[in-house]
A = this chain, B = another copy of it.
């Protein structure tokens, strides 16, 4: 996507495979900085400190971490140690261990002298696959928007950040939006602030602004009212997990937008790569993590000296509860946008059979 009229991905290798560069997401949206990652240790640190974040991006970063390790030392012990260090950097990130395992499976059988080049090539493949997957989601979502578009401004509401910053490029929920904007359609995005961590007001708004997509930030409270007033034509969100029944687990507050969309006949879509569909869990079984109360009690922003700072926004003497996700039941979901097409929630189980068949075939 574009930043100041220049095309960027969130991660890219030096052409001579000496180092990797990433956008430092800890200083966004108030500052734009690129970090040069020159070693395995630096990549582990980059993942730990969340300079890179978002499941697909973490996977690509870990793959490049393996490549940096092979450049320095292509021995078996180096391979094993690098894999362990990277997996431990963010223990709960599924994409991270998936990407590391894939690298190890390819590199281990090779003669050490062949590992360095193979590692850089394979890391590039992992990054490229993510880009292709998100582009496909964008094209399937674009078709949906085209069906509903009548030439007048088309208003899409989104919650949290499922933009390109969480991926290598394009994003998931925002990929159809970028595709429609780039196709010359008159798209406007309502960006939910997304308390408590403000990923909408910071990352989503910043990304849309950089790419030149018209958008307006709203408090999380405003979306229902805008739907009542016919100011929302479609809702597109990402998801952390989708059940085989089509229930959508996503950032806290998504459920409130899903019921408001239903109450006002606004189509509600979740855009996810198909690996995000969890075939073995029901909505009731999804355990919702309660994150630290400080995320509610404090807020990050820019102080009057234009310095990033953390502020307390709740009086002393009160505590907070901070559930991080909620589940929007399938009955509220118009469709799931995947890289393989758009499916009604009830159709997902058929997709499972298809997927298994094609894998076996």
Listed in ascending order, the chain A residues whose CB lies under 8 Å from chain B are 28-30, 190-191, 193-196, 198, 201-202, 205-206, 208-210, 215-226, 228-229, 251-253, 255-257, 259-260, 263, 288, 296-304, 309-323, 325-327
Instruction: Report the nearest B residue to A209, measured CB to CB.
Output: B317
> Is B252 touching A225 in the complex (CB atoms < 8 A)?
yes
> Is B256 touching A205 in the complex (CB atoms < 8 A)?
no
Complex-state Cα separation, A218 to B217, whole angstroms: 21
Complex-state Cα separation, A210 to B206, whole angstroms: 40
Copies per complex?
Answer: 2
> Is B221 touching A194 in the complex (CB atoms < 8 A)?
yes
On chain B, the residues within 8 Å of A296 by CB distance are 193, 201, 217-219
Complex-state Cα separation, A212 to B253, whole angstroms: 29
On chain B, the residues within 8 Å of A28 by CB distance are 315
Among A195, A198, A206, A313: residue with most chain B CB under 10 A: A313
Complex-state Cα separation, A359 to B218, whole angstroms: 45
Pairs A–B under 8 Å by Cβ, sample size 16 = A28-B315, A202-B314, A205-B315, A209-B318, A210-B317, A215-B318, A216-B321, A217-B314, A219-B220, A222-B321, A223-B256, A224-B255, A224-B256, A225-B323, A225-B326, A256-B256
> Is B253 touching A218 in the complex (CB atoms < 8 A)?
no
Provided the pairs A259-B260, A304-B310, A315-B202 are in contact, do residues A252 and B219 lie with their beta carbons within 8 angstroms?
Answer: yes
Choice from B196, B225, B297 contacting A255 with Cβ under 8 Å: B225
Q: Report the minimum CB–CB distance from A191 to chain B (whole Å).
A: 7
Among A221, A256, A318: residue with most chain B CB under 10 A: A221
Choice from B29, B206, B259, B297 contacting A259 with Cβ under 8 Å: B259
Q: Report the minimum CB–CB distance from A1 to chain B (whole Å).
A: 14
Among A209, A304, A314, A327: residue with most chain B CB under 10 A: A314
> Is A224 touching B309 in the complex (CB atoms < 8 A)?
no
Complex-state Cα separation, A23 to B236, whole angstroms: 45
Choice from B29, B222, B255 contacting A253 with Cβ under 8 Å: B222
Complex-state Cα separation, A314 to B300, whole angstroms: 10
Complex-state Cα separation, A225 to B328, whole angstroms: 9
On chain B, the residues within 8 Å of A219 by CB distance are 195-196, 220, 252-253, 296, 322
Q: A220-B221, A221-B326 are in contact. List 7 more A-B contacts (CB 8 A).
A: A29-B315, A201-B315, A209-B317, A224-B253, A228-B326, A255-B260, A256-B257
Choice from B194, B260, B310 contacting A256 with Cβ under 8 Å: B260
> Is B313 touching A301 in the complex (CB atoms < 8 A)?
yes
Q: Report the minimum CB–CB distance from A165 to chain B (whole Å).
A: 12
Q: Report the minimum CB–CB distance from A311 to chain B (whole Å).
A: 3
Complex-state Cα separation, A211 to B29, whole angstroms: 40
List the 5 closest A-B pairs by CB distance, nearest first. Answer: A221-B253, A29-B315, A301-B311, A225-B326, A209-B317
> Is A302 touching B297 in the complex (CB atoms < 8 A)?
no
Q: Report the minimum CB–CB distance from A261 to chain B (whole Å).
A: 10
